[in-house]
Amino acid sequence: MMKEIRFSQHSLDKLKILSRHKMVITKEFIIETISNPDKLETQGDNKQIAQKNLNNSLVLRVVYQEFVAFILVITLYPGRRTRYDKNNL
């Protein structure tokens, strides 16, 4: 069983901005990215970056921090696979 996932106001704002640019990303897809990432990186200050393919050219990167009781999604952004997924092209 996975911890509760909470979304920062910033991450919710990012979802709105992306949808205005015709890139609709659901909270379910973000949760799936965290629970079953294609790639996972750790940042020094206790943050994780989960990555999942969106399509042939783009990946979604979700920056989050895990606490005892929950996981907080800090931000998210699409990126080019050529930049972030060099091993799997």
pLDDT of 88 strictly over 70: no
47-82 pLDDT tens trace = 999 999 999 999 999 999 999 999 999 999 999 999
Binned at pLDDT 50, 70 and 90, residue 2 comes out as confident
Confirm whether 50 is domain-assigned: yes
Confirm whether 89 is domain-assigned: no
* Residues in contact with 36: Cβ distance below 8 Å, sequence separation at least 6, in sequence order: 52
CB 57 within 8 A of CB 80: yes
Confirm whether 67 is domain-assigned: yes
Cα dist. 13→1, 44, 73 in Å? 28, 25, 12
- Domain containing 35 equals 4-79
The span from the CA of 2 to the CA of 15, in Å, is 22
Confirm whether 69 is domain-assigned: yes
The predicted structure's pLDDT at residue 35: 96
pTM (2 decimals)?
0.92
The predicted structure's pLDDT at residue 78: 96
Binned at pLDDT 50, 70 and 90, residue 85 comes out as confident
How many structural domains does the chain have? 1
- Residue 28, domain CATH: 3.30.2310.20
